[in-house]
Structures are given as C-alpha cells and as structure tokens.
Structure 1
Amino acid sequence: MFCCGALVLYLILSQAGGLLHPSEDDSVPEEWMLLHVVQGHIGAGNYSYLRLSHDGRIVLHMRSLKGDADLYVSDKTLQPSFDTYKLQSTTCGQDVVVVPEDFLRPVGIGIYGHPSHMESEFEIRVFYDQTAPKDLFDESSYPSDDGQEEQKFPQGMEEDFQEEESIFWTILIGLLKIIVEILF
C-alpha cells in the first residue's frame, strides 16, 4: 500500500514539475503567431517537401521526435536539398530557420531524414513574426514602371489557386496511370 501511495505521489509531483518548468516548445516570443503545426515521418536518406506561401517574416521550428530530420529552405526551388538551398538547419536537436520577408513566395521546404536512423519523425511549427518592421520604401506598394499597378491577390485566393492546381495534377496523374495500365 505504501509503494502505491509513493508512486501516486511521484506521478503528481512530476506532473506539477512539468507545469512549473515549461517545455522548450513554450519558449517563443508572444509576438509570434502560430500558423501551422505539421507532423510527419521520413525514411533514411529521403526528402519530404512542403510549400510556404505566407508573406512576411516566417520562423520554422522543427523538432525531431524520433531519429534526426534536417531542414533545407529555398526561394529558388520548391524541392531544396543539401545541394540546392538558401537556408538550412542540420542539428541533432531542434532546428530553427528564419525565412526573411524578402524571400520570393512560394518558398520550398525540404525535410531530410538523416541516414543515421532508419526513420525519423518530426514536428514543424510555423510562426509569423509580427515584430518584423514594415518597409516604408517597399517598391511593391508603388505602380510599376509601365504605369499600370500590379494586381495582387489576397492570401486566401492564392491558397485556393494552389489547391485547385493540386487537384488538377492529382486528377491528371491518376488518368495517366490508368492509361499506362491499359496500354501495358
């Protein structure tokens, strides 16, 4: 009976200790707004790709839950790797990359499963940094040289277009698979 009581007391104290000492996930500034949380797994030596369309200064916090996943970011390709990237974080712990406001959108994000582990599990938290100063001399707010103002789409319309584009490619690939199966 005494052992059970001691075990229950230990569990209660360990839970209280977790409340008193927040985890490292809670150590982000209050000015950062959480946009997305993405969890996934990746095999050794493989890549998984994400696309970032949000404007502004974006902070990517990736934590390897199991194994070791590395982070590669580029605004030149949607499939960055350890050969083609602009920003990277390849630590054995928490990986953090700050995507500058002036990166062209969409930004490609590559998650690489390090070969030291057969499989890696990861969690990426995507934050919008609201503290980034606004550029008063941003040329995109002025008309272009030919006198016509560039048309800008709200964030929601851009995401809808990307979703429609993704559905189109999914259907097209499905039809191609059916045709290949019929022919061969």
Structure 2
Amino acid sequence: MAAYWKRMFVIALAFQGLLIANAYNEEEDIPEEWILLHVVQGQIAAGNYTYLRLNHEGKIVLQMQSLKGDADLYVSDVTLHPSFDDYELQSVTCGQDVVRVPAHFHRPVGIGIYGHPYHLESEFEMKVYYDQTVVEYPFSTGSYNPENMEMSQKQFHSTEDESQDEESVFWTILIGILKLILEILF
C-alpha cells in the first residue's frame, strides 16, 4: 500500500512540474523585441461589447486570452467602436486571439471586445505589447519604410489604372467598328 501512495505522489509531482513548465513556456513564446505595455482584464456579457482605445504609436500586438467563455477581438483605425460589422482587423478564435496593429494605423485605434452569445458571460485578459522589431527586406537598401511602400503602391496602382484606361479605349473603338460593320452588312 505504501508503494502505491509513493507512486501517486511521484505522479502528482511530475504533473505539477509539467504544469509549471507549460506556464513557463507560454511566457517564453513572447519574442524579446516585444515590450509589455499593459495588461487589461475584464468581463463581458453575452452579445455585448467593451470598447478600449489604443493611443500608443508604432507596431502594437494585442494578445487576448479568453479565461471563461469566448471573447472576440475587433480593431479599427477608422472608428472607435469597431464591431463584427465594422472593423479593419479581427481575431475570433475560441482560445487566444492575436491582432497585430501596424504602425501606419491612425491613432487612436478603437478596440472592440465582443462577448460571444453562446456564453452568458466571458472573462478575458489582454496583453498589449510594443513590437520593436525592424523588418529587413532582402532586396531593399535599408529597413522597411511604410512611406516608401505606400509610394510604390501608388505608383503601381497608377500604372495599372493607365493600362486599364488604354484597354478600355481599345475595346470602345473595337466595339464601335464592329457595330459599324454590322450596320453596313444588315
């Protein structure tokens, strides 16, 4: 009988060690370049929203864990009250929700936390990180610059628009010639 209790004690210690190691690994998954800014905890009733406002500049990572129920995350730089109908970024998983807010989003950024209607009440914990990583592209001379990216996208769209205009004029002329030929023949 004593051997049985010793085995149960060793199993319980091993299980507790695994739980501690798992909790440690969750914190270890956070990159060194991320700086924890805030931890927000709250509750929300089914079908309701809680709104937060993000004023920090730069790349921000919102990492929300539903502790009870299911809370969903909606983010917008257009409205301070984003919803499942009006948002720019979202994460609607049943577990951990993560949204990366780009540096070019206009501040303040609206954050909407929605309590899923399948649960009477949802509890959440959201960690707000500042991501200070610099993105390097292999074909660029320096680090990523969103202004250069916007400029190149505008140039791409303008050349694309010009080619569509030329194509449209071509088709208009071709259709006009075909109509003229059909009128002459019939």
Please tell me the TM-score bracket, short chain as reference.
0.5 to 0.7
Number of residue equivalences: 139
8 Å Cα contact 2:104/2:146 also seen in 1: no
Per the alignment, residue 40 of structure 1 pairs with 42
**CA 1:116 to 1:131, structure 2 compared with 1: closer, same or farther past 3 Å?**
same
Q: CA offset at residue 12 of structure 1?
A: 1.7
Pairwise CA RMSD? 2.3
Contact 2:37/2:129 (8 A) holds in 1: yes
Q: Secondary structure at the match of 1:78?
A: coil
Counterpart in the other structure of 1:156: none
Point out the more displaced range, 98-107 or 15-24.
15-24
Q: Deviations over 1:62-96 (max 9, x none)?
A: 11111111000011111111111110111112111
- Aligned mate of 1:78, from 80, 91, 113: 80
Residues 134 and 144 of structure 2 are in contact (CA less than 8 Å); yes or no, is this contact kept in structure 1? Answer: no
Partner AA of 1:75 in structure 2 = D
Q: Go from structure 1 to structure 2 and tell me whether the alpha carbon gap of 1:5 and 1:51 turns closer, same or farther (over 3 Å shift).
A: same
Give the equivalent residue in structure 2 for 1:27.
29
Shift of 1:19: 4.1
> TM-score under structure 2 normalisation?
0.67
Counterpart in the other structure of 2:95: 93
| Identical columns (%) | 60
Aligned to 1:165: none
Secondary structure in structure 1 of the residue aligned to 2:134: coil
1:98-117 pair list within 5 angstroms: 98-117=100-119
Q: Distance in 2 between matches of 1:79 and 1:8?
A: 52
- CA distance in structure 2 between the partners assigned to 1:25 and 1:93 by the alignment: 16
The offset of 1:14, in angstroms, is: 1.6
Letter in 2 for 1:9: V
List gaps (5 residues or longer) in structure 2: 136-142, 149-186
Cα deviation, residue 13, structure 1: 1.1
C-alpha deviation, 1:8, in angstroms: 3.2
- Higher share in helix: 2
Letter in 1 for 2:109: V
Post-superposition CA distance 1:89-130 (Å, at most 9, x none): 111121110000001111110000000111111111111111
Alignment-derived partner of residue 181 in structure 1: none
Q: Which has the larger radius of gyration?
A: 2
Give the secondary-structure state (helix, strand or coil) at the position aligned to 1:131. Answer: coil
- Does the aligned pair in 2 maintain the 1:57–1:132 contact within 8 Å? no
Name the SS of the counterpart of 1:8 in structure 2.
helix
Moved more, 19-28 or 98-107: 19-28
For normalisation by structure 1, the TM-score amounts to 0.67
Cα displacement (A) at 1:23: 4.2
What is the aligned partner in structure 2 of residue 14 from structure 1? 15
